[in-house]
Amino acid sequence: MNAKPYEIISFYEFKILADLEMLKTRLKAAMREHSVFGTILLAEEGYNANLCGAKQDIQFFLNDIENILDTKISYKSSFHAASPFRKHEVKIKPEIVTLKKKVDISKGIGTHVKPKDWNAVISAPDVFVLDARNHYEHKNGTFKNAIDPNTEKFSDLPRFVAETFDPQTHTKVAMFCTGGIRCEKFAPFMKELGFAEVFQLEGGILKYLEEVPKEEQLWEGECFVFDERRTLDEKLEMGSGTDYSQRAYKL
């Protein structure tokens, strides 16, 4: 018997969506049909999902929603003994990750760094490493020498950058977040501010922990996640970290 029968997946995509109410109805029906639990956020700018189900159910579900969303889903995966989600939720929001800034996502083309190349980027002496997550996430774990912006929510990050960074001085900035979505929005924002070289960890911390052998990792501590597991260790298994957020989960 599988001791960890539940697969937890996360995925997102920035793409223009129309008829959000229709998509909401179809996606929620697919979640119910395949016994998939969690939350999908929809906005005109795209979608963002954190879901859980039996591995076979997840695969059938993904086949359905690729047709619904007219796309190919690229997701990050981990496994757990119990489902961390209890509801079938699809929500329509102004943004799939809240920055409260208009951003041209296409400006982020060319900023992605594969997990296997990330160590070399952040080890360069002239690169400033920015943790794009909130302070309670940073406290559980981060990359060596990463700057903690000490923010309560993602929309606070532009103010921190304005007060701390100078495009003329900080010409190379590498950033990371849990699964990549925040950097997907913030890297092009930094480019628009005039920062010459911006790097973002493709797939985020989760993909890095999945692909980079433990003995080679520059990650220190555990990775905070927005579900009942609280943190994941270097094997993407439930960790022992403290929930410093007081459950005030704000991307």
pLDDT digits (tens, 9 = 90+) for 145-203: 999 999 999 999 999 999 999 999 999 999 999 999 999 999 999 999 999 999 999 99
Separation CA 23–CA 66 (nearest Å): 12
Res 239 pLDDT > 90: no
Q: CATH assignment of 105-232, given 3.40.50.920, 3.40.250.10, 3.30.565.10, 3.20.20.70?
A: 3.40.250.10
Average pLDDT over the chain, rounded to whole? Answer: 93
Q: Dihedral sign for Cα 115, 120, 123, 128, please.
A: negative
The domain spans of the chain are: 6-92, 105-232
Q: Report residue 84's pLDDT band, with 50, 70 and 90 as the boundaries.
A: confident
CATH classification of 6-92 is 3.30.70.100, yes or no? yes
> pLDDT category, 54, cuts 50, 70, 90?
very high
Q: Choosing from 52, 177, 183, 223, which is the catalytic residue? A: 177
174 neighbors 129 (Cβ within 8 angstroms):
yes
pLDDT of 238 over the 90 cut: no
CA–CA dist 152, 154 (Å, integer):
7
Could you confirm whether 177 is annotated as catalytic? Answer: yes
Query: What is the pairing mode between strands 172-176 and 128-131?
Result: parallel
pTM comes to 0.89
What radius of gyration do the chain's Cα atoms show? 18
